[in-house]
Structure 1
Amino acid sequence: MTSPHAEMIDLVFEISGGTLPIAYHYELWDELTRLVPQLGECEEVGVIPLRMASSNEGMLIPKRAKLALRLPLELADIVSALAQKQMQVANSELQLGSCKTRPIQHYPTLHAHLVTGADDELSFIEEVSSALAAMGVEAKLICGQRHTLANGERTISGYSLVLHDLNPEDSLRVQYTGLGKERRFGCGIFVPYKVISGLE
């Protein structure tokens, strides 16, 4: 388990391109590890889900979009070599631009789009509560909608989740460690969440 004092950062790249399928996460990870194989050797690495807009052709990458990887600081120099690279993801050409490091800061309310776990919501909440207790984290939970990432070959399911009333140390611990599995596909990664309404 990653300690709350481990040196974890977000490495943020400018990204541009066309559209991606809803379950782009699998092919994005495959391409990232093709370009930087060391990513696949570290279980702590996560890919923060892209913010995209729906269109008739798929999920549209907006202008000024960012691709953010959460990883140990020691990998930053190696992974920063992705800057200015072209990627082929799900029949779309994506262009990465410059990159910068973004320190992870504590916030009292955090959100993850998809946390893996039990199919039943009550069982899922029990699993999350047990995992947080094992980490020594105290927080209030709000379970959102159930989501599935499926591309015909691989399927991941879980719920969106908000944790609130976190103290600074617990907030950092959750962001460094995450919850559930499949961080590489954007699952269980927590980011600041400022408004608790309309959970997705």
Structure 2
Amino acid sequence: MDVLPYVEMSFNVMGNTLPADHGYGLYSAIAHLCPELHQQDWLSIETIKGIPDERGKIYLTDKSRLRLRLPGDRVPLVYKMAGKPLKIGNYQIRLGIPQIFMLTPAHQLRSRLTVIKGFEEPQSFLEAAKRQLHQLEIEGKISIPNNFLGQPERKTIKIKRFTVVGFSLEVGNLNEEDSIKLQCEGLGGKRRMGCGVFIPYQEEV
């Protein structure tokens, strides 16, 4: 693989609530705390999971984590976030001491939200995602999962005043090397805002 060994840094998150759509706000807060992370293509930031209240917020739990994907030699840039507060809009959280994990392969990966500029309809979006997968020389079966209404799972992210449309994606039948590569590279844009970040599917269940 023509990439540096990547790791995942996982910070405990202390706080009460966050906006459900917090990808842009989280990235802005991290970039404010660590300016050297601003616009770094090697960084992926997963959005923080919690219990949705169905009114645009999530409640944080003792399992809520901030997870960052980055090359192992960039860990010192991020480690100084340990113990620091992050202000996300009108909400505030505090980060604990991070744990560092190697990425592990899985036959099936899922991205909660992937965005590809210029593609907002399911079929054209899926074709664009297939092209990106091919460009990465990754072989796998890619699909858009359906929502509870049986329709392609369409999602959005708000970035400043703009709403960006994307879809959930699943990629299955991956060998170990391609699985790690997809977790390192991701698909689409806005990966520092939680988009196009793939995790083993069982973590989403």
TM-score with structure 1 setting the length: 0.91
| Equivalent residue letter for 1:66 | R
**Structure 2 equivalent of residue 132 of structure 1:** 133
Deviations along 1:155-183, one digit per CA (max 9) or x if unpaired, are 22211011000001111111110000000
Q: Which residue of 2 aligns with 1:113?
A: 112
1:31/1:193 Cα in 2 relative to 1: closer, same or farther (>3 Å)?
same
Rounded to whole Å, the distance in 1 between the matches of 2:193 and 2:122 is 21
Runs of 4+ in 1 over 2 A off after TM superposition: 194-197
Decide which of 8, 11, 14 is 2:12's aligned counterpart: 14
51, 63, 77: which is aligned to 1:53? Answer: 51
Give the drift of 1:64. Answer: 2.9
Tell me if 1:78 matches 2:77.
Answer: yes
% identical aligned pairs:
27
Alpha-carbon deviation of 1:151? 5.8
**Equivalent in the alignment of 1:142:** 143
Matching residue of 1:24: 22
Task: Please give the per-residue CA displacement for 1:62-104, whole angstroms capped at 9, x wherever unaligned.
Answer: 1231110111212101201100111111211201111111111
Contact 2:43–2:70 (Cα < 8 Å) also in 1: yes
Distance 1:195 1:57, change over 3 A: closer
Note the C-alpha offset of 1:107: 0.6
- Residue by residue over 1:121-164, the C-alpha shift from the partner in whole angstroms, topping out at 9 and shown as x without a partner, is 11111111111111111111220201011266132221101100
TM-score of the pair, normalised by structure 2:
0.89
Amino acid at match of 1:105: T
Give yes or no for contact 1:23–1:150 (8 Å, CA) kept in 2. Answer: yes
Q: Which one of 153, 170, 181 corresponds to residue 189 of structure 2?
A: 181
Report how many residues are paired: 195
**What SS does structure 2 have at the residue aligned with 1:78?**
helix
Q: Which runs of 5+ in 1 are unaligned?
A: none
Paired position in structure 1 for 2:163: 155
Which deviates further from its counterpart, 95-104 or 16-25? Answer: 16-25
Rounded Cα–Cα distance in structure 1 between residues aligned with 2:11 and 2:204: 28
Distance in 1 separating the partners of 2:139 and 2:41:
24
Which of 30, 40, 43 does residue 42 from structure 1 map onto? 40
Structure 1 position 171 matched with structure 2 position 179: yes
Contact map agreement 1:143 1:162 (CA 8 A) in 2 = yes
Render the CA deviation track for 1:19-62: whole Å, top value 9, x for unaligned.
Answer: 11122111111110111111114112111121111125721111
Q: Distance in 2 between matches of 1:137 and 1:169?
A: 9
Partner of 1:90: 89
Distance 1:94 1:143 in 2: 32
| Distance of 1:149 and 1:35 partners within structure 2 | 22
